[in-house]
Chain A
Amino acid sequence: MRFERREHRPLALVIATPILAIVVALAISGVLIAIAGAPVLEAYWRILKGAFGSRLSVTETLTRATPLMLTGLAAAVAFRARLWNIGAEGQLYLGAIVVAATSSHLLGGLPPIVQIPALLVLGAIAGMVLLLVPLWLRLRFSVDEVVTTLLLNFVAVLFVSMLIDTVLKDPAAFGWPQSQSVADGAMLPKLLSRSRLHLGLAIAVVLAFLLHFVQSRTVFGLKSRAAGLNPQAAVFAGVPLGRTLVGVACISGGLAGLAGAVEVMGVKGYVTTDLSPGYGYSGIVVAMLANLHPLGVVLAALFTATMFVGADGMSRSMGIPSYIADLTVALSLLTMLVALFFTQYRIRR
């Protein structure tokens, strides 16, 4: 069996790829649900109902999708330029803790119209800084950024854990390690009353469109794509590789830091070490399912959030561990990789 490269990729195939990948992933997860002794179709029906069955569940799914869109965009923009930022989880936590620290101590008294944008920018800057360290190590010492960004995730979470255990600890939290709450004026306005849905969703969707524009219509976007497609050719064509990667890292780290800021200011109001159930890692899957396209990220984040929110409800009523959601999301990354391969190659006998 051999593979040969396709001359051109039919558009229908490109659009069908993620759908096919998700269907295959759901089928494999279905086998595991069956092994666990539950009726498969009913389990999936309950997941769907848990995610979209009521006004509350729809808003919960959209709230859960918000940080996933931002971390998904962070991964997509970096991977496009072949900058392997696997550190979104740590960048998210750093963005979150900077918001908690500055809101309660420095900016708390400012009116919301000034305070909210200032905090969002600070959160994004924190994420940027954390990604610029491994990028500097790559450019200066040729250290592979995959391992360093992964390792920095652990450092960042421990750093946050240290701060909320000491200087930023909330004295009113009964000894529980939790940061002080952000000022009331720092909380993002709600998009819908009687729900947790907040302005962060709008921010994420607008940023997805903005990023799509930057990537497809600007010189910087062209340079960043060239750096990813063929770094050597890009350098010969006059693309300043280092400077382009710094720009990409600022966008990617900034988006991940923003995810943390938005999660604190929109949902939680304070920081704990379980602020993120792996949003940074799920963002990688979201980006791959979207085939690194910013607008696709919005849809892929919705799918991922559906699985997570829906599986919570299904798990309670059917006794299937809610890890089935993580499992399906991980499987869909693998099936997407295989599906992408077959959009580029065909089997020749």
Chain B
Amino acid sequence: MTAVFDILASAGLWAAVLRIATPLILGTLGALLCEKAGVLNLGIEGIMTFGAMIGWLSVYNGADLWTGLLIAAVAGAVFGALHALLTVTLGLSQHVSGLGVTLFASSLSYFLFRLLVPVAGTPPTIEPFQPIAIPGLSDLPFVGPALFVQTPPTYLAILIALVMAYMLFRTPLGLAIRMTGENPHAAEAQGINPMAIRYGAVMAGSALMGMAGAFLTLSAFNSFFPTMVQGRGWICIALVVFSSWRPGCALLGALLFAFFDSFQLRLQTTLGGTVPYQLFLMTPYILSIAALAIMARRARVPQALMQPYRRGER
């Protein structure tokens, strides 16, 4: 019991929460934006993998870190356009298209990485983002080092969550996106082009997914290896349901999730040897399933989610 308390009282835990949460925040917001417009994007796992690879590869070849992040976002948007072409223009099954995009994007990542980076004994590394202490706030006792000494993309992720919450619920564009996700026929009657809105939302959301992946290689770690995304994309899809499609709740959900994750990581070192480590590694996935079971009925699903829109066809 004292071990648990010691863990909770360490600033390191709380600093790790924000670090672990960042890719989840970005990925969940990306998936949420797509789904608000009515498109489920299961390409997320592959798009995150590709973002991680292309962001890292750009920096490895001399680009600076922000350019790497931007390239990952653009690559994400390109895969988003592919998913939109299949699901919006052609109206194909969003489940199968998304899985196809995931398989394609991740195998393309592995192929390009193996082709462009020579095989070496130790994986090549880059110089990742360094934590920045916010002047003033970071000097606060305990709270300062826990919350205000993070790498820039973490601050950016939190900012994006707030901007998206404002955009979705306080601007005409947000209203158009939500209408398209609830009832594209009504949206069209209001002079909104549901096709254009869906393309925009899926591409922007996928760009965020690409950034989520790039955070892993440009900030959390400093090298790329296959399977590094480890199901984070699927966890983000679960977090969207858990947040009931609200950006603010998505932010909180990602933080809560990251809290459990960094807690189990520390508990693992405390209890190491007595309990198999695999049990700890299972917890994020089981927690996601539990979160889905608790929230699935209560959540307010966008009513036109997974329904293709064809003009003049019901």
A residues with a Cβ closer than 8 A to B are 2-3, 32, 36, 79, 84, 86, 137, 141-144, 146-148, 150-155, 158-159, 161-162, 165-166, 281, 284-285, 288, 320-321, 323-324, 326-327, 329-331, 333-334, 337-338, 340-341
Contact = CB atoms under 8 A, between A and B. Distances in A.
B80 to A, nearest CB: 14
A130 to B, nearest CB: 12
Contacts of A150: 231, 234
B107 A158 contact: no
A147 B292 contact: yes
Given A36-B115, A162-B279, A147 B293 contact: no
Contacts of A159: 278, 282
A116 to B, nearest CB: 30
Given A137-B292, A162-B278, A337-B86, A324 B111 contact: yes
A272 B115 CA distance: 28
Given A147-B234, A324-B111, A334-B100, 11 more contacts: A144-B241, A144-B292, A147-B237, A154-B231, A154-B285, A159-B282, A284-B99, A321-B110, A329-B107, A333-B99, A341-B92
B52 interface: no
Interface in B275-304: 276, 278-279, 281-282, 285-286, 288-289, 292-293, 296-297
A281 B227 CA distance: 14
Contacts of B101: 334
Given A143-B293, A330-B107, A154 B230 contact: yes
A68 to B, nearest CB: 14
Contacts of A146: 42, 95
B90 A338 contact: yes
Nearest to B42: A146
Contacts of B95: 84, 146
B114 A151 contact: no
B129 interface: no
A133 to B, nearest CB: 9
Nearest to B286: A155
Nearest to B235: A151
Contact of A148 (B82, B100, B231, B289): B289
B289 A151 contact: yes
B238 interface: yes
A323 B50 CA distance: 14
B168 interface: no
A151 B231 contact: yes
Interface in B227-269: 230-231, 234-235, 237-238, 241
A155 B276 contact: no
Given A141-B293, A142-B296, A165 B100 contact: no
B111 A32 contact: yes
> Which 9 A-B residue pairs are closest in the complex by CB-CB distance?
A321-B114, A330-B103, A326-B107, A162-B278, A323-B111, A330-B104, A327-B107, A158-B278, A333-B100
Nearest to A136: B293
A32 to B, nearest CB: 7
22 contacts: A36-B115, A137-B293, A142-B297, A143-B292, A143-B296, A150-B231, A151-B234, A151-B286, A153-B231, A154-B231, A158-B282, A162-B276, A165-B278, A323-B107, A326-B103, A327-B107, A333-B104, A334-B97, A337-B96, A338-B86, A338-B92, A340-B92
Interface of B: 42, 82, 86, 90, 92-93, 95-97, 99-101, 103-104, 107-108, 110-111, 114-115, 230-231, 234-235, 237-238, 241, 276, 278-279, 281-282, 285-286, 288-289, 292-293, 296-297, 310-311
Contact of A337 (B97, B108, B235): B97
Given A142-B296, A151-B238, A341-B92, A334 B104 contact: yes
A147 B238 contact: yes
A36 B97 CA distance: 27
A161 B278 contact: yes
A122 B303 CA distance: 42
Contacts of A153: 231
Given A330-B100, A341-B92, A152 B278 contact: no
B289 A152 contact: yes
Contacts of B289: 137, 143, 148, 151-152
Nearest to B109: A323
Contacts of B281: 158
Contacts of A161: 278
Contacts of A79: 96
A321 B281 CA distance: 31
Contacts of A155: 282, 285-286
A334 B285 contact: no
A340 B97 CA distance: 12
A96 B92 CA distance: 35
Contact of B288 (A36, A151, A166): A151
A94 B311 CA distance: 46
A158 to B, nearest CB: 4
Nearest to A148: B289
A153 B97 CA distance: 20
A148 B287 CA distance: 11
A331 B104 contact: yes
Contacts of B90: 3, 337-338, 341
B234 to A, nearest CB: 5
Nearest to A315: B114
A142 B294 CA distance: 10
A93 to B, nearest CB: 13
Contacts of A334: 82, 86, 97, 100-101, 104
